[in-house]
Structure 1
């Protein structure tokens, strides 16, 4: 039994009790007039009966899909990384088909792997620049600028490594050590940038939820196992539109 139903039942019982008491205790035509009080109680019961508890308005968000707004903003840089991955696959196919030697494969593969890492780094740097230039990220400008400044040594080492690999005079162990260091630094940068983007996705989702009157917004990944689409609303496109306005 709901709280409202319980209250209605109790008040109804009280009304019945009052009516019985007044009928048998008060002499006819004598005593105080309780009709006003009874009317007031009756009105309260009617109001409680008419009151319906409003169900929660719930929505869900595909945050990974919403993140595509950021990658689409630097689609040209992203395409370069995709193209570089294609070159690596082609080289691997040539080696598997025995059309190139092991030494040539190793040399070209090292070069392509470094160029791919540089392309991925450029995606992050381009995204940071895009955010810094956008009024919608003014609340993050200080942190974004700090992130860009801290990434500069990684950018410099990346350029040096690319130049060294192109020349072709580098010890294999030295190359692996330098490559691993740069890749680890890039991974940290990428994680920090992802956190900044995620914070903005949450901000956009909050705005959409408030504007549309939602009480709760769930994330599809690692949260929703099942959803009734008739009762839950997907606000991913609305959030993506909001994010686009920031950029």
Structure 2
């Protein structure tokens, strides 16, 4: 040291040491921020994952393995909040029948689909399958009897094959191909780069609306459930896609 100053070599050494300390110190502060940000995201996710379903199975709920005679909707009333969406609604659907509900938007068509599949419980009245109230049947076995094709196709960021296997995990590749053919989906799947192993992107966004809808129907065809619920499955499609989907539904039935 001369007059309280550093010589050149000492100054360079000092700068090098200061830089070597500064970089990890900055990394520690960034890591702390990342941990807090991840913790906040995890809390939001866990809040949903840990939410108990309001539709719990009864302690003595029984398994239902097959559908034999009829679905009976008996004097059902239902409300989401304060106003009743359905009032004293009754309908009987025999095995083998196809029943269409027609009405304007907001008249409760989708609500009936949601009640039959027990995504909600009725406020008044009852829904029964083969004479058994659906509240006395386990949700998993009730939904095991049903296939649901909704207006918005519910697909996942995975391959076409894995999206279809959700309905029947033990299906063979031959069964998957057959289901795609019945649903008029094979005509576009066969032209994809990797066929049924092609990833369709988040929510199936690599496909068109009609293609997504036909994959949803193919999944239902593969499962081959005794009860099929279709909630405006063609309302968002163009004429050509709608015709193909209608043909697919005819093939399935």
TM-score under structure 2 normalisation?
0.25
Larger proportion of helix: 1
Taking CA–CA contacts closer than 8 Å with sequence separation of 6 or more, which of the two structures ends up with the larger relative contact order?
A: 1
Larger proportion of strand: 2
TM-score under structure 1 normalisation?
0.25
